[in-house]
Amino acid sequence: MLRLREVGTVERRAVGAAALAVGAIGLGCMPMSWGYGASRQDGEESLRAVHSALDHGTTLLDTADMYGPFTNELLLGRVLRERRRDAFIATKCGLLAGEQHIVADGRPAYVKRACDASLRRLQTDRIDLYQLHRVDPEVPVEETWGAMAELVTAGKVRALGLCAVGARGHRRTGAALHDETLRQLARAQQVFPVSSVQAELSVWAPEALDELLPWCTAHGVGFLAAMPLGNGFLTGTLTPGEGFEPDDLRARHPRFTADMMAANQPVVAGLRRVARRHGATPAQVALAWALAQGPTVVPIPGTRSARWPPENAHASGLALTTADLAEIATLPPARGSWD
């Protein structure tokens, strides 16, 4: 049986060049305010989820100014007002959410205004990790990154990160996304150290293992594994054909059609087999798999329910065996893609 760690004793990992220590499992706060069905948003439950995460040793809270927009940072600000010392705040700038579409904005003046606005909403005087949500194709990344570096010098930010997941808005994944990200990273590194990269990594989306994660490992850069539970699919709690609200991002995701969810059930079944051997859940196995990919990896599963943070945090106490990892590696690749 999986032996759950005591409250507050979750494994710690260092994030990148700044060597900032965080709990090995983070908390993705986006579902609380954006992307997963507005009718199911519950501010009070989300507050309980954040407190529960902090209570169980999860320190990294990942948010962004565009989530809501703005409401996600405002929600976290209510927690930070009381528990700033318990939290590691990772927020983002560089994307503007319009009525019809999302656009990038990497202008230096905008970046500085966005940081000040995030500080006000979060009710803090510093951001631990400030991430560029997407590189603006109209602004050289060196200019944007230079403005972000000035925020570190000013004491408003402790470390900088870059997100690869935003490229999904261009309908690119896999090798194309990661090749572009590697070029951007190399250019940014010439200006100021990159402390972290955030990109999708999970059992059913392992593309980052090919080049992106090895680059991070070689350069001492932390890797924030976004969507490590496959937008909820790898938890085994979703029913094929159950459907999603129109404003839920999964309603437009090819892997979440009824047919594709049914076709991908062998992936969940494989996680369940491994989980039974450890007295764990499929979600914990999926998170433990991500942790096993390297000491720089910090999975950031998203949730808006106070039920899940304790289970997620305890996944850091699950040590998968070589046989477990080999079995997971033989699972069929996921069907359905963004392309």
Residues 6 or more apart whose Cβ sits within 8 Å of residue 31 = 302, 303, 304
216 within some domain: yes
Rounded to whole angstroms, the Cα distance separating 220 from 210 reads: 17
Rounded to whole angstroms, the Cα distance separating 117 from 183 reads: 29
180 within some domain: yes
Are 326 and 270 in contact by the 8 Å Cβ rule? The answer is: no
- The SS3 of residue 306 is coil
231 within some domain: yes
Rounded to whole angstroms, the Cα distance separating 256 from 166 reads: 20
Q: 208: closest CA among 181, 188, 187, 233? A: 181
Global pTM value: 0.93
**Residue 196, pLDDT score:** 97
Which tokens hold the place of 56? 């169980």
- The tens place of each residue's pLDDT in the chain, 339 residues long, gives 454 444 446 799 999 877 799 999 999 999 999 878 776 778 899 999 999 999 999 999 999 999 999 999 999 999 999 999 999 999 999 999 876 688 999 999 999 999 999 999 999 999 999 999 999 999 999 999 999 999 999 999 999 999 984 344 334 445 666 788 899 999 999 999 999 999 999 999 999 999 999 999 999 999 999 999 999 999 999 998 888 888 888 998 999 999 999 999 999 999 999 999 999 999 999 999 999 999 999 999 999 999 999 999 999 999 999 999 999 999 999 998 754
**Residue 337, pLDDT score:** 74
211 within some domain: yes
Rounded to whole angstroms, the Cα distance separating 137 from 99 reads: 21
**Residue 27, pLDDT score:** 98
Which tokens hold the place of 315? 């996944």
Rounded to whole angstroms, the Cα distance separating 315 from 235 reads: 13
Are 267 and 331 in contact by the 8 Å Cβ rule? The answer is: yes
Buried b (16+ CB within 10 A) or exposed e, 200-226: bbbbbbbbbeeebbebbbebebbbbbb
**Residue 241, pLDDT score:** 84
Which tokens hold the place of 189? 């590194």
270 within some domain: yes
Residues 6 or more apart whose Cβ sits within 8 Å of residue 77 = 121, 122, 123, 124
36, 67, 110, 130: the catalytic one is 67
**CATH no. for residue 120?**
3.20.20.100
294 within some domain: yes
Amino acid present at 280? A
Residues 6 or more apart whose Cβ sits within 8 Å of residue 96 = 66, 69, 102, 103, 104, 105
**Residue 9, pLDDT score:** 63
Neighbouring C-beta atoms of residue 323, cutoff 10 Å:
10
Range of the domain at 143: 12-329
* 67 is annotated as an active-site residue: yes
Are 99 and 138 in contact by the 8 Å Cβ rule? The answer is: no
**Residue 175, pLDDT score:** 60
97 within some domain: yes
**Residue 1, pLDDT score:** 47
Which tokens hold the place of 117? 């606005």
Domain count, the chain: 1
Q: Which alpha helices (H) appear in 11-58, and where do they start and end? A: 43-55
3 within some domain: no
